[in-house]
Amino acid sequence: MFLPLRLRIFFVVLACAAQVSSAEPIADSAQEFPQEVRTFYRQADGLPSDDVLDVLVDDQGKVCVQTSAGWVQRSGDKWLECDAPTQVPTLQLRSHKRSERRAGPLDASLLPWSERLPDSLSREFPSDGQQAWLVRDACVVQDGLGRYWFAAQQGVGRYADGQWQFFTGAEGLPSNEFTCAAAADDGTVWFGTRHGVVRFDGQSWAYRQGQRWLADDAVRAIAVDHEGGAWIATAAGLSHIHFVPMTLKEKAEYYENEIDEHHRRTEFGYVIEAHTDKPGDKSVTHRSDSDNDGLWTAMYGAGECYAYAATKDPAARQRAKDAFEALRYLSLAPRGGSHPAPKGFIARTIVPIDEPDPNQRPSYTLKGQEQTRQRGDSLWRVYEPRWPTSADGKYYWKSDTSSDELDGHYFFYALYYDLVADTEEEKELVREIVRDNADHIVENNFQMIDHAGVTRWAVFNPELFNQDVLWAAGRGLNSLSILSYLATATHITGDPKYLEAARELRDVHGYHQNVMVPKIQTGMGTGNQSDDEMAFMCFYNLIRYEPDAELRKRYLFAFWLYWRLEQPEINPFFNFTYAAVSAKQNYTNQWASYSLEPSDGWLTDSIDTLQRYPLDRFNWAHDNSHRIDILSLPQKYLGQRRPTGYRNNGKVIPVDESFSEHLNHSPWALNTGGDGRSLGDGTVYLLPYYMGRYHGFIE
């Protein structure tokens, strides 16, 4: 099935149509899917005690909970005291709490190994024809389809159609420290462990751990209701993991509302994560500046550009215009004021003048800056002030801008110019900002200059990157960035001088060759993950706006090699960015011809990730280091200290089993998140969702 890309190419005609394999289902943004959510119940919510010992669900769906202070049952939205229930006989096999482990030899004296199974099954060791398991201390349940399940130290077994099937870490089972189990009407089974909950729907495994999902990780009992939700008893309260019908479109609207309520900073509405006084409590939120306010706001604004182009929603257009004004001010603020920067410099962010002087923060004093240099960056700049004031006297602006800020700005400006700026006046405002910055970089020997000199990171100087060993690691990525900026500037302004500058970088300094290895890394999951986000934005613009067909094909081949390393990350933004420029493309070198189209599974993975993004964007801690379905990555990268790994299906841990603040996080990290006091914004969902809508990957 072939879908045309809805790309508007103004400066060059780039023949590319989005191709989606017939094996790749196109998602319908208006079709409902089960969005997984959780609710906690504790003493503050009506339970007699947080210490929950057991939970039961009867035939009528009544939820009964045993706490250390007595039994209660759910009635409407309240918990009412009740007597200890007598479990309904038809549900006796639906849930099971594991007994204490018994000592003794593992031999045939253990038969029958479960009183909860028919005698014919319990008097034989479970066998799948290849191996037989000697089982003891197992949780045994029967699901709504009549199948028997056991969970023991070896793993999980399922008896159906006269035979056993075994599941271990090799088949995707995340944990085997079982404490209890419960089965649903549709055959889904939930397994409680000492370190979280495991769910298996017959096709895929889900691991629910940490306060995003559980009041406490040590699970005492589980009961499944008739809607497929699980009630989970722990020593810190009762968790209810359940599903609400939602569409991708509704999910986008939810995140948009959350951003408007919690994530905008200053009068310009820079989009940034929020912070809270109490873990998981959004009633009071605070926002503070970051090094990358411009980048995050640009990526948010890019999503709104796609949204307007795909839906023609005037609200999306206004959000995109607001993002443009916020980013434009970062170019205007450094002009004039206490310590003006040369025209074309772009500030990292701003802080209102009535807030405490950011120059007095410990890290920005001369002493703090010197400590930063000594701790690990011998090229770190030490100067004052890092935060000059703007000409209008309203803001401090942050200097020493980096290339990742510029990557975000150029990615956004191109989309805003092509998709949103409808009038000549609007387009000229974009041209002015892009022209000023591109001139600034070219005229300063391909470097950004602030009031104190050459910046630490916004450097694209060929003498440094091609000659100085201290800059060699950034050669490919920074070559990609500057060539992308110049191609984008040519597209927006129509001025051929930027193509001439790019030609000099290629012909004299070999920057097109540098792009062929855009990042020095030692395999999947290594290197700085921010580089990947930056590279994908730059490749997207460079391939769309480079007028030379042979160069475009060369750059696309480099992008293909890069994307193949990123594909296991199941990142919809990476997948859509690559797929948008690679349809029906191929590349031939001296050895072979290669199809550059994304391989099967990319769209299915992307939609699955979009559906999995939790509505709860708090930075709850996730610990996946103990999982038995994880393969560790070798510690190859210099400075890589955190444990890293991936599931044995070759893909990283899904987004609902880890935490990502932005799209630059490492999905290979096994331990992520924090204390639940940081609230991530929804750009991680909105940008790829609207990009998928625009490019026809989502209807």
Using CA atoms of 567, 571, 577, 581 in order, give the dihedral in degrees to the nearest 10. 30
Q: Measured between alpha carbons, how far is 518 from 386 in angstroms, rounded to an integer?
A: 30
Q: CB neighbours (10 Å) of residue 325?
A: 14
Instruction: Report, at the CATH architecture level, how domain 285-694 is classified.
Output: Alpha/alpha barrel (1.50)
Q: Measured between alpha carbons, how far is 406 from 488 in angstroms, rounded to an integer?
A: 12
Q: Measured between alpha carbons, how far is 503 from 300 in angstroms, rounded to an integer?
A: 32
In which residue are the tokens 């006046």 written?
425
Q: How many CA within 13 A on the CB side of residue 311?
A: 23
Q: Measured between alpha carbons, how far is 279 from 212 in angstroms, rounded to an integer?
A: 11
Q: At residue 153, what are phi and psi to the nearest 5 degrees?
A: -60, -35
Q: Measured between alpha carbons, how far is 434 from 324 in angstroms, rounded to an integer?
A: 12
DSSP string, 499-520: HHHHHHHHHTT-HHHHTTS-S-
Give, in order, the Cα–Cα distances in Å from 244 to each of 168, 650, 673: 30, 30, 25
User: Measuring CA to CA, which residue among 665, 661, 635 is closest to residue 652?
Assistant: 665
Q: 19 is written with which tokens?
A: 């191709």
Beta strand 205-208 with 196-200 is antiparallel
One-letter amino acid at 182 equals A
DSSP string, 390-434: PTTSSEEE--S--HHHHHHHHHHHHHHHHHT--SHHHHHHHHHHH
User: Measuring CA to CA, which residue among 9, 32, 169, 70 is closest to residue 628?
Assistant: 169
Q: Is-contact 83 89, C-beta < 8 A?
A: no
Q: How far is it between the farthest Cα atoms of the chain?
A: 87
For residue 485, what is the enclosing H or E element? helix 475-493
Domain ranges within the chain, ordered by starting residue: 35-103+110-246, 285-694
Q: Is-contact 668 522, C-beta < 8 A?
A: no
Q: 176 is written with which tokens?
A: 């085997």
DSSP string, 3-58: -------SSS------B--TTSPPBPTTS-EEEEEEEEE-GGGT-S-S-EEEEEE-
Give, in order, the Cα–Cα distances in Å from 38 to each of 50, 227, 552: 17, 14, 47
- Whether omega for the bond prior to residue 89 falls within 30 degrees of 0, making it cis, is no
Give, in order, the Cα–Cα distances in Å from 698 to each of 48, 315, 481, 571, 654: 47, 20, 29, 15, 20
Angle at 314 (CA atoms; ends 312, 318), nearest 5 degrees: 125
Give, in order, the Cα–Cα distances in Å from 409 to each of 294, 348, 417: 7, 11, 12
One-letter amino acid at 126 equals P
User: Measuring CA to CA, which residue among 414, 432, 427, 428 is closest to residue 485?
Assistant: 414
User: Measuring CA to CA, which residue among 511, 533, 503 is closest to residue 407?
Assistant: 533
Q: What's the pLDDT at 634? A: 79
Q: CB neighbours (10 Å) of residue 311?
A: 17
In which residue are the tokens 């691991």 written?
207
Q: Is-contact 348 401, C-beta < 8 A?
A: yes
Report how many helices (DSSP H) and strands (DSSP E) the chain contains, helices first.
16, 31
Provide the H-helix boundaries in 64-209. 119-122
In which residue are the tokens 């939602």 written?
246
Provide the H-helix boundaries in 245-359. 248-262, 293-311, 314-332
In which residue are the tokens 């359940």 written?
242
Q: What's the pLDDT at 93? A: 85
- Pick out the chain residues at pLDDT < 70: 1-25, 87-91, 100-110, 636-640
Q: Which residues of 187-223 are buried (b: 16+ CB within 10 A; e: fewer)?
A: bbbbbbbebbbbbbeeeebbbbbbbbbbbbbebbbbb
In which residue are the tokens 């006796």 written?
92
Q: CB neighbours (10 Å) of residue 678?
A: 18
The model's pTM is 0.93
Q: What's the pLDDT at 528? A: 83
Q: 637 is written with which tokens?
A: 């990268």
Q: Measured between alpha carbons, how far is 579 from 39 in angstroms, rounded to an integer?
A: 37
Strand-by-strand arrangement of the 63-67 sheet: 52-57, 63-67, 70-75, 78-81
Q: How many CA within 13 A on the CB side of residue 78?
A: 3
138 SS3 class: coil
Q: Measured between alpha carbons, how far is 630 from 670 in angstroms, rounded to an integer?
A: 9
Q: Measured between alpha carbons, how far is 648 from 645 in angstroms, rounded to an integer?
A: 9
